[in-house]
Amino acid sequence: MSTDVKQPAGLADSFDVIVIGGGPAGYPAAIRAAQNKLSVACIDEWKNRDGAPAFGGTCLNAGCIPSKALLESSELYYRLHEEFAQHGIKVAGAQLDLAQMQKRKSGIVRGMTQGILALFKGAGVTPLQGHGRLLAGRKVGFVAHDGTRRTLSARHVVLASGSAPIELRSAPFKAPYIVDSWGALDLDAVPKRLGVIGAGVIGLELGSVWRRLGAEVVVLEALPDFLTFADQQLAKEALRHFKKQGLDIRLGAKVTGAAVSGNAVDVAYTDAKGEQHLSVDRLVVAIGRRPYTKDLLANDSGVELDERGFIKVDEHCHTGAENVWAIGDCVRGPMLAHKGKEEGVMVADLIAGRFGEMNYKVVPSVIYTAPEIAWVGLTEEQVKASGRDYKVGVFPFLASGRARAMEQAAGFAKLIAARDDDEILGVHVIGPLAGELIAEAVLAMEYSASSEDLQRTIHAHPTLSEALHEAALAADKRAIDSLNR
Ligand code: FAD
Ligand code: NAD
């Protein structure tokens, strides 16, 4: 079914704001600009596998949403086999219906992406499906999917062109055998053996999906350490759980080649022991993403890229070219949907002459594995390196009545606070619904709360949120529900 939007006859050629890119950075920018009573068009060129154009970018079509749909389904399947008996629930004959699992995922994606069109309609944003290119003087060349060309103009242009997966020269993509994350979300059968290159966020999330559904999963990570960007106490705990779940994570493994042979992929890599070989049925390459700016900028657009290909911007996402802004994955900072969204909202407010600011110090990170991993602020390693004296409180979910009732008592909540003024510097959670729990820490840090502020805040019992409360108390050795060490 085509979801192509019919362009209204007599469409305006001139707008207050044109946003190029309709992902989680671009579409909120367009909506907020329209809320600010500006005339807005949002141009997006995304097409799904069936050729249907769709707003929502990587996140809604091939990233956050489809991956979370499959994570949820595969987690239920895993728990049904591994956990239900513990609850006293016997299930006989439960079977995997992968086609239905994929159908559910696609339905969620379709609903969410069509929802953006409804939001645009409600807010008064003009959706334009096709390619956008910034020309000099804030003119925008637009080529609709049917080939129709027009030159539009705007008082302000917001670039939100996103990112694309990095290809590994030694293991080039070759569908359906060697695939990127989008390909890994669309497998139509559970591979017996799945290889994943990169133990980053995508490698762990998608490796977990297919492991839970029965694949033997080997993850090859070039670095000698695990989750180097996370707090290392948390990383160690995570590695322990993933190994227990059967994820075979090989660190210090540098891939030197991958070739399709028959129906399998032969992967060659080197590690501390020398040359190694691995044969898998499917190989997922997840070694990071790069900014995507193909055919986005005319030579005289006035916008510059940095040495890594990101669009150069200041702290307010202004590019330096008059009234041209850039947000989301195509600019510096973490490649996260919520970071792009807030940048979009900030820019749309600044354009309208309102207040707008991003607090890059409190952008939460979540890895949607089981147990879930989430953090905000500094890791203990970063605090130590800063030289500031600090205290740490840790509360294990084993001591949480709610976590035990849920049969999810793995992991801990950890809070780091400054010794001098008690400011919360970082919070790291591995455990049930960590991604939801971290919101309290984000809010606390946004308001510059102290650990005492959290200690004096009443948390409902029995809830998982008590773990954060107790971690704050533990920082002053005043925890009630766990031993103070
Ligand atoms: P994109 O979402 O990439 O959107 C850019 C849009 O611009 C695309 O539709 C593209 O087609 C369009 N475009 C580009 N150039 C042009 C042009 N010249 N003309 C017209 N249109 C153009 N982040 C999270 O925060 N949480 C998660 O759980 C999460 N899970 C992820 C899972 C996976 C498998 C992947 C791959 C990513 C995940 N991410 C997640 C990252 C998240 O998807 C990105 O950070 C986010 O999509 C970036 O938003 P964006 O709007 O900057 O770019
Ligand atoms: P990543 O940067 O998270 O991880 C890439 C991993 O690959 C790193 O551990 C890196 O050391 C390793 N690597 C790099 N080159 C390698 C090589 N040649 N051989 C073996 N290992 C190698 O990148 P990703 O997992 O591809 O994710 C891309 C982006 O998407 C991330 O920035 C992430 O923020 C975003 N994302 C976020 C979420 C989430 O928020 N839950 C989920 C998925 C993706």
pLDDT per residue over 196-245, tens digit each? 999 999 999 999 999 999 999 999 999 999 999 999 999 999 999 999 99
Task: Note whether 448 and 431 are within 8 A (CB).
Answer: no
127 lines ligand 2 (CB under 6 A): no
Q: Which of 18, 31, 47, 58 to mutate to test the pocket of ligand 1 (most atoms within 8 A of CB)?
A: 58
Q: Tell me the percentage of the chain whose pLDDT exceeds 90.
A: 97
pLDDT at 485: 83
CA distance 382 to 425: 10
Query: How sure is the predictor about 11, in pLDDT bands with cuts at 50, 70 and 90?
Result: confident
Helix (H) / strand (E) containing 68? helix 64-82
Q: Is 344 close to ligand 1, i.e. is its CB under 6 Å away?
A: no
Q: Does the structure show a pLDDT above 90 at 9?
A: no
Amino acid at 113: T
Name the token pair of 11.
Answer: 């469409």
CA gap 19, 11 in Å, rounded: 16
Determine if ligand 2 sits within 6 Å of the CB of residue 33: no
Q: Taking all residues of the chain, what is their mean pLDDT, rounded to a whole number? A: 96
| Residue whose CB lies within 8 A of the most ligand 1 atoms, among 59, 149, 163, for a mutation test | 59
- Cβ-based neighbours of 155, under 8 Å, separated by 6 or more: 15, 16, 17, 138, 323
Can you tell me which atom of ligand 2 is nearest the CA of 200?
4
**Does the Cβ of 198 fall within 6 Å of ligand 1?**
no
CA terminus-to-terminus distance, the chain: 61
Taking the centre of ligand 2 as the mean of its atom positions, its distance from the CA of residue 204, in whole angstroms, is: 9
How far apart are alpha carbons 57 and 71 in whole angstroms?
20
- pLDDT value of residue 17: 98
Which pLDDT score, from 0 to 100, does residue 399 have? Answer: 98
Mean pLDDT over 125-151 rounds to 97
Q: What is the per-residue pLDDT across 263-303, written as a single tens digit (0 to 9) for each?
A: 999 999 999 999 999 999 999 999 999 999 999 999 999 99
Region 181-204: what's the mean pLDDT? 98
Query: Does 351 have pLDDT greater than 80?
Result: yes
The pLDDT assigned to 378 comes to: 98
In short, whether 292's Cβ falls inside 6 Å of ligand 1 is yes
- For the record, the structure tokens of 25 come out as 């950075």
Q: Kindly tell me if the per-residue pLDDT of 2 is higher than 90.
A: no
* Residue 131 CA, closest ligand 1 atom number: 19
Which residues are designated catalytic?
Answer: 461
* Structure tokens, 317: 């996402």
Ligand whose nearest atom lies closest to the CA of 227: 2
pTM of the shown model: 0.97
99: pLDDT strictly greater than 70 = yes
Residue 285, ligand 2, Cβ within 6 A: no
In the prediction, which pLDDT does 1 show? 38
Dihedral, CA of residue 305, residue 306, residue 310 and residue 312, to nearest 10: -70
